[in-house]
Structure 1
């Protein structure tokens, strides 16, 4: 009986060894390895317009199909709530594997250890060609020569105009390459501003309280300041420079579009119906536009195209600002390789970029695609090259992106309405507010120094 039991055990042992051998042979096969990869769960948290959300769902589904071992939870948070929601997740140790950072937030996230240094992953990647990506995108997320995010996009703010309103006023369309001067722009904007009686600001009977059509929507001051050769900060971003006469001139120019020339909505009119809604309704002749607006503007009841921002008479240059968001990988992700691969896929995969481009969501991150396929697309705006001109030649980052935090710029944005509403001249305002802005900037610099000392 004992001999039979021993024989049985030997048979079982040999059978087990055979099975182990079969298993070993199977796993040496390339396809077997892929099928047996551990499942990876990633979370992506961004904000997006509805049409962008649908596009990203498609792109992520394609990534999952190509990487069957990866499961992606895709979460879209409303833009107004995004920052608060992200901070809450981080505080609860539930940071998404991939999330948006803006160019002005990178230093903070780097210094607090929230984002992964992806420099080596980027340099070793066989899908990421940094030479074929916009430098103005990559540089937003590079700190001390290390890359901490990949650009979701570059967002050139061009200037759109309503062709139908130009036709009705008997005006020639603006050039897509030769910008109006500030004075030319004022005259055109006034001719396109009409009250309920059909009068323009050039007519004696014009009633600024009863305007039904404005020459332009409310302006951002950045294009005027940059075009006039001025800035909020000195070169190393340590001093506030808004008392520069060129800055004062630019700020007053923007305020006078409303206060003197009546060509843009007053603060009261803006609160009643904002300029974006007026543009959509065909009640504003010229309005800022980013590439992400393309799909939304396909539904407009009028024809439109792009023009450069007006050029300063002093510099003869047209400048504006370039926005961007980046896909950052969390420093706490359990799957840095897969998270990076997904971020790279969202950033540079040709099919993904073509999807975003053809559905009017953005200018491609791939330079060769932007300079060829994008310009040939048969949808409005016709003069898409204006977007590329901004990216290549005529843009700067927003001022707060040059500093550790943006509290100083927030204060400027909140208080400069005194100039726009005519309570103070630009000169009075800048001299009054400069010390406070410098105090906030100094505090920002000190925060940066403390953060670096604690690294």
Structure 2
């Protein structure tokens, strides 16, 4: 899942002492209130789109000027940590779900609860699904979801036609996927692909009725359901070879292999619809097969404010705009900058009416069974520890069960 998978493995661990007490100063330029906004997702492909959004906001709010800073994701949270310690956090900044709890738990973020409640032009129904709840902690609102994306299954219709197979349906389970993948696999073509990583594991175990952590955050990696799910992930590569091993991929990305007609089915992000638009074959998307139930990986990004921001009303106006304004949403859709969180049927219709893929509505449908990654203390360290054991299983150094039992011990030690 290229850029999103990379994004999910960033370091999120920050000492509580570093994230306390940050400062901000209201600036006045040309009689306007100036707020500073930092983002990671605008660069490098959406700089002009961000400029359009800011211009529209300033048009609607002529007394507020927004200064933007775009930071590469690899450096973004490191810089935020430095700014927090030096009390120079921007007034408004982008925040992902994985890092949210760490920041909200250390007093860095502006509590938006009262601002939202007294704003007569705002209601939580302005956000789609349950996205209003994503960036709350202990009953308080700290951010509004600005954009979302999810993971679906893409499939090459031409390869299915050549094999005489019916296209995947939302009723498929792992069994039907494996049967189709075995038929589709031939010289130069693999039937299916899914990453064998932490981010894929946490979702796959849920599809089998499992979970990596219980409701109290206690690791449960070695459960029967989890072992069965991970073995399924391995077997597609190592037993049936309907999925290429890392060696067989020869450095090619799975997305490139799909575009080249070398993979018939692939689990990857909704943001890839634009990348796949120019493929020389017919393709479509469908909900992922589950085993005992459906589960889809959902990503969410929010706009949050600094607790030390001086002009909280201006901060709230910009947060609300980036999340719920229809013009901002249309700019986002027109540029394929993920899905806006605004609950606007006309905006969703504009997205689903585009030519490819035919079943674009699936991207919204899977939100109903969407799950977020489990967020625990020392998240990055936990994730890395689990990935280390998964990788050892991929290269045959241990079984799937041994990998999860070893990961269970490592994670338990980390969380002590």
Q: TM-score range by the shorter chain?
A: 0.7 to 0.9
Please tell me whether the aligned partners of residues 363 and 370 of structure 1 are also in contact (alpha carbons under 8 angstroms): no
Please tell me whether the aligned partners of residues 154 and 391 of structure 1 are also in contact (alpha carbons under 8 angstroms): no
In structure 2, do the counterparts of structure 1 residues 376 and 241 end up closer, same or farther at CA, with 3 Å as the change threshold?
closer
Q: Quick one: which of 334, 356, 373 aligns to 1:398?
A: 373
Q: Give SS of 2:134's match.
A: helix
Q: Give SS of 1:272's match.
A: coil
Query: Which residue is 1:335 aligned to?
Result: 311
Please tell me whether the aligned partners of residues 408 and 437 of structure 1 are also in contact (alpha carbons under 8 angstroms): yes
In structure 2, do the counterparts of structure 1 residues 236 and 322 end up closer, same or farther at CA, with 3 Å as the change threshold?
same
Query: Which residue is 1:125 aligned to?
Result: 119
1:404 Cα deviation (Å)? 6.5
Please tell me whether the aligned partners of residues 217 and 276 of structure 1 are also in contact (alpha carbons under 8 angstroms): no
1:247 paired to 2:222: no
Distance in 2 between residues matched to 1:192 and 1:79, nearest whole Å: 37
Please tell me whether the aligned partners of residues 321 and 396 of structure 1 are also in contact (alpha carbons under 8 angstroms): yes
CA shift digits 1:376-401 (9 cap, x unpaired)? 52232221222222212x121112x2
1:370 Cα deviation (Å)? 7.0
1:69 paired to 2:63: yes
Moved more, 331-340 or 86-95: 86-95
**1:138-287 equivalence runs, <5 A:** 138-175=132-169, 177-178=170-171, 180-195=172-187, 212-219=188-195, 220-237=200-217, 239-270=218-249, 272-287=251-266
Gaps of 5+ in 1: 1-35, 196-211, 443-455
1:402 Cα deviation (Å)? 4.9
Gaps of 5+ in 2: 1-28
Query: Which residue is 2:10 aligned to?
Result: none
Distance in 2 between residues matched to 1:376 and 1:411, nearest whole Å: 39
1:153 Cα deviation (Å)? 1.6
Please tell me whether the aligned partners of residues 333 and 351 of structure 2 are also in contact (alpha carbons under 8 angstroms): no
- Relative to the length of structure 2, the TM-score reads 0.85
Please tell me whether the aligned partners of residues 99 and 329 of structure 1 are also in contact (alpha carbons under 8 angstroms): yes
Please tell me whether the aligned partners of residues 295 and 361 of structure 1 are also in contact (alpha carbons under 8 angstroms): no
Q: Quick one: which of 333, 347, 360 aligns to 2:336?
A: 360
In structure 2, do the counterparts of structure 1 residues 390 and 79 end up closer, same or farther at CA, with 3 Å as the change threshold?
same
In structure 2, do the counterparts of structure 1 residues 403 and 270 end up closer, same or farther at CA, with 3 Å as the change threshold?
farther
CA shift digits 1:212-246 (9 cap, x unpaired)? 32222333223321110000111221x21112111
Distance in 2 between residues matched to 1:402 and 1:134, nearest whole Å: 26
1:431 paired to 2:405: yes
Query: Which residue is 2:295 aligned to?
Result: 319
In structure 2, do the counterparts of structure 1 residues 297 and 78 end up closer, same or farther at CA, with 3 Å as the change threshold?
farther
Query: Which residue is 2:325 aligned to?
Result: 349
1:45 Cα deviation (Å)? 1.5
The runs of 4+ residues in structure 1 deviating greater than 4 Å are none
Distance in 2 between residues matched to 1:410 and 1:245, nearest whole Å: 22
Please tell me whether the aligned partners of residues 208 and 229 of structure 2 are also in contact (alpha carbons under 8 angstroms): yes
Query: Which residue is 2:32 aligned to?
Result: 39
Distance in 2 between residues matched to 1:101 and 1:77, nearest whole Å: 12
Q: Quick one: which of 280, 287, 297 aligns to 1:308?
A: 287
**Bigger Cα Rg:** 1
Please tell me whether the aligned partners of residues 285 and 362 of structure 2 are also in contact (alpha carbons under 8 angstroms): yes
Please tell me whether the aligned partners of residues 271 and 336 of structure 2 are also in contact (alpha carbons under 8 angstroms): yes
Distance in 2 between residues matched to 1:338 and 1:92, nearest whole Å: 23
Q: CA RMSD in A?
A: 2.3
Distance in 2 between residues matched to 1:372 and 1:324, nearest whole Å: 17
CA shift digits 1:144-175 (9 cap, x unpaired)? 11011111222221111122332333322212
Q: Quick one: which of 76, 89, 108 aligns to 2:102?
A: 108
Please tell me whether the aligned partners of residues 37 and 69 of structure 1 are also in contact (alpha carbons under 8 angstroms): no
Q: Give SS of 2:289's match.
A: coil
Query: Which residue is 1:418 aligned to?
Result: 392
1:430 Cα deviation (Å)? 2.0
Distance in 1 between residues matched to 2:33 and 2:410, nearest whole Å: 49
Q: Higher RCO, 1 or 2 (CA under 8 Å, sep at least 6)?
A: 2
Distance in 1 between residues matched to 2:234 and 2:209, nearest whole Å: 18
